[in-house]
Structure 1
């Protein structure tokens, strides 16, 4: 028996195929929507790309705990440190976009690393959905008790008298304190030796022990040690003095005009995470940050609660990326 394929039958067959594809797409969309409406039904993983024990980790765990309480499901922290916080960030970027993996992100992961590394395993814009900025933390210059300088001009004088001898610590190559130090070197015209550690905690301990001279740390990490008398703060990298630390002068007052460096902490989800889930996350974070208890606890870290979300966060992130790409290029800072 012979079959004759006519033009009309081909059109009919192609129409059937298109209809089946459309039905499949609709079914997948309905399934994803239904999943988003019932989310979360299990624990959520929060990747923190920093080592346990430091200020970044502590703040991330606090956010995770409160978010888990609000959602009714545990938020399990997964520390994936290394390579300037890029290892954990890459893991998050490649995770399923189902709302069950989130990233505790920061200026390091989404503004500094992309400007520093020629080869990066993720795109900070294309591979993520920005959820919300949760806190802002200015950079503060702290020194160990063994350092004789009690002011920024005095410290600059010591550094210029012994080029390459004074040291500054960081939680690793490419971390915010590292870049803050490199930019300070360029602005102040001093030669300091960078000593990287595996995390901010060990870096702070090294300064307290007198093994390293100074660190350009966030207020969130450094100020508890300053309050306890284990470190001494010399300058704050803000445009004006902070009402939280009114006696602490700015870098600008100390003679380094144009030196400002503020860190930020945030939540990102993998690109493709359903919008209803992202909207729910943003709403819960906003509610959490409005509570007096949470604001007080974030303040205790030396940071300021800050709820920047949605399009405003996307614009803020792009502006920060552009800013530090320009500054890092001008200072000729490169990492492999």
Structure 2
């Protein structure tokens, strides 16, 4: 009996441990997510090294940690973002292909292109807005105007002579120039380029007179003394350029333009996956390292998920669309 009693307790304990372990394993197994069982692709519809790409990479890294899977940034530039957006619109709605949508793909493009290969509102499910990089009016520091009033005076003195470069027709850089022309009552010449980088290079080379550029891209040249920042196209001064006034401060409050970015999935993605992504991005955007990385690139963070992001997007399509139609902007 003593022998029986000696071994019965360990056996009972062992059985209890095994039972508890099986219950825990069963619980974990039952709660195991059906989503993110393989790498996820995040399509950036613009070239590597640009403002949107710089926003996407720290977010993608953090999302990968949240999902426990690699998130691959896949650059698909071309046609003002339309190529990459169309690719995601036609991708399987399974949560494994995400789109970094912007003020171009989900703002100006629906009005600017007569035949768009996707429907910005109907073909996507908005997941998360990350924030925006305001545009700043810059000139060549060696030969450009020293202030917005001086620039306006020069433009009025010689209508249709001063030029401004942009990353292409219909981009926020171009539309900021249109806003400025209308608000300041001046006539400028738009010079579109295939991207912001060549436009900036020509401004540095003295081939154009001015440019609206994203703060993140212009900032290194401003700090190096190669470009002079005259005004920020935002409601308030930017944290990276605290000494540069806003257009509103200069009496031109309608000049407000920024390049925003957020993530979308194809329409029809299962609600459970959409909810999981909403929650994951909310956690990602709350992380200080992510916020620090975005702010280092000039991003003013604005985290919106789900229906709040949808409302924002619908408003942007309406706002930018009205501007494009009024200015009669077409792809160049």
TM (norm. structure 1) is 0.84
* Separation in structure 1 between the aligned mates of residue 221 and residue 283 of structure 2, nearest angstrom: 30
- Look up the match of 1:229: 225
Q: Quick check: 58-67 or 242-251, which moved more?
A: 242-251
- Structure 2 counterpart of 1:176: 172
How far has the Cα of 1:302 moved from its partner? 0.8
Q: Is the 8 A contact 2:170 2:329 kept in 1?
A: no
Q: Which residue of structure 1 lines up, in the alignment, with residue 182 of structure 2?
A: 186
CA distance in 2, matches of 1:191, 1:155: 12
Give yes or no for contact 2:175–2:257 (8 Å, CA) kept in 1: no
Paired position in structure 1 for 2:24? none
Shift of 1:243: 4.9
1:63 matched residue in structure 2: 59
Match among 144, 149, 161 for residue 148 of structure 1:
144
User: What CA RMSD, in Å, does the superposition of the two structures yield over aligned residues?
Assistant: 2.0
Report the TM-score, using the length of structure 2 for normalisation.
0.85
Q: Who is 1:54 aligned against?
A: 50
SS of alignment partner, residue 269 of structure 1 = strand
- How far apart, CA to CA, are the structure 1 residues paired with 2:80 and 2:249? 31
1:321 and 2:281 matched? no
Matched, 1:280 2:276: yes
1:206 aligns with 2:202: yes
Partner of 2:251 in structure 1? 255
**3-state SS of paired residue (2:119):** coil
Q: Secondary structure of 1:84's match?
A: helix
Match of 1:295 in 2: 291
Distance between the aligned counterparts of 1:192 and 1:316, measured in 2?
31
For the 8 Å contact 1:143–1:231, the answer to whether it is kept is yes
- The number of residues matched between the two structures is 302
State the partner residue of 1:13. none
Distance 2:50 2:237 in 1: 25
Shift of 1:263: 2.6
- The question of 1:310 aligning with 2:291 is answered no
In the TM superposition, residue 110 of structure 1 has moved relative to its aligned partner by: 0.2
Question: Which residue of structure 1 lines up, in the alignment, with residue 105 of structure 2?
Answer: 109
Aligned-pair distance for 1:274? 1.3
Q: Is the 8 A contact 1:85 1:175 kept in 2?
A: no
Does the Cα contact within 8 Å between 1:145 and 1:210 map onto a contact in 2? no
Structure 1 residues 277 and 230, CA, compared in 2 at 3 Å: closer, same or farther? farther
**What is the rounded CA distance, in whole Å, between the counterparts of 1:282 and 1:225 in structure 2?**
36
Alignment of 1:5-154 (within 5 A): 37-154=33-150
Give the counterpart of 1:160 among 139, 145, 156.
156
CA distance in 2, matches of 1:306, 1:257: 21
1:266 aligns with 2:266: no
- Gapped runs of 5+ residues in structure 2? 1-29
1:18 corresponds in structure 2 to: none
User: For the structure 1 residues 244 and 146, does the alpha-carbon distance in structure 2 shift closer, same or farther, using more than 3 Å as the test?
Assistant: closer
SS of 1:39's partner is: coil
Would the alpha carbon gap of residues 225 and 275 (structure 1) be closer, same or farther in structure 2, given more than 3 Å must change? farther
Q: Hey, what's the Cα distance between the residues in 2 that align with 1:300 and 1:194?
A: 30
Change (3 A) 1:279 1:227: farther
Deviations 1:138-170 (A, max 9, x none): 221111223331111111112222323222122
In 2, Cα distance between the equivalents of 1:66 and 1:98?
Answer: 20
3-state DSSP of counterpart to 2:251 = coil
